[in-house]
Amino acid sequence: MSKTVPIILAVLTLVLVFGVGVYNKIIGGDETVTASWSEVVNQYQRRADLIPNLVSTVKSFAKQEKDVLTGVVEARAKASSIQITPDTLNDPAALQKFSQAQDQLGSALSRLLVTVERYPELKSNQNFLDLQKQLEGTENRITVARKRYISAVRDYNLVVRKFPGNIISNLIGVTTKPNFTVENEAEIKTPPKVDFSAPANSNAPAPAH
């Protein structure tokens, strides 16, 4: 009996150490997901902050494009009204609502930028060109941030679903996290191109990326 006790204690110790390691991995994954999401939100906010100045600049050259301008303003207001915190990030419906609103803003913004093609003076305006560069950079950062978030969620979900992580996750009451939909993932592979540095009929070669 005396020999059995140390063996049992050793086994229990190993199980405990192993369990703590898996638990820490789950917690670390959760923190990575939260941090990745914060970066997604920051980049979306950066885009939203550029829009008022962009709309104002376009309006000064193209007041007749009222419907397009209004569409951007309304889409921005809707997207800005939906906030996803770490507490609501586990809600698939909330994430989908947020993502759809941001996608609608992106579509409205794309329509506005296509409209700009009809206004050569606007395309050569320095303020607009500066905004165009900032917007293009922001769209690229949004793409990178969303890809990192998708990757972080996938890594986390694998830990939670696979053995022995599934046992620990059940014990501590955590589940998989929702991710962007397949449609969202397809969209971020080709971020919108925002480049009006040359006239549409120019024969100059496109800038390298």
What are the tens digits of pLDDT across the range 123-156? 899 999 999 999 999 999 999 999 999 999 999 9
* Amino acid making up residue 104: Q
Backbone angles phi, psi at 202, to 5 degrees: -70, 145
**What is the domain partition of the chain in residue ranges?**
12-188
Look at residue 175 in the predicted model and tell me its pLDDT: 93
d(CA 163, CA 167): 7
pLDDT computed for residue 182 by the predictor: 54
Q: Mention every residue, 6+ apart, whose C-beta is less than 8 A from residue 25.
A: 159, 165
Indicate the class that CATH gives domain 12-188.
Answer: mainly alpha
Q: Where are the alpha helices (DSSP H) in the chain?
A: 4-61, 66-81, 92-115, 120-123, 126-161, 165-172, 182-188
Q: Are 27 and 174 in contact (CB under 8 A)?
A: no
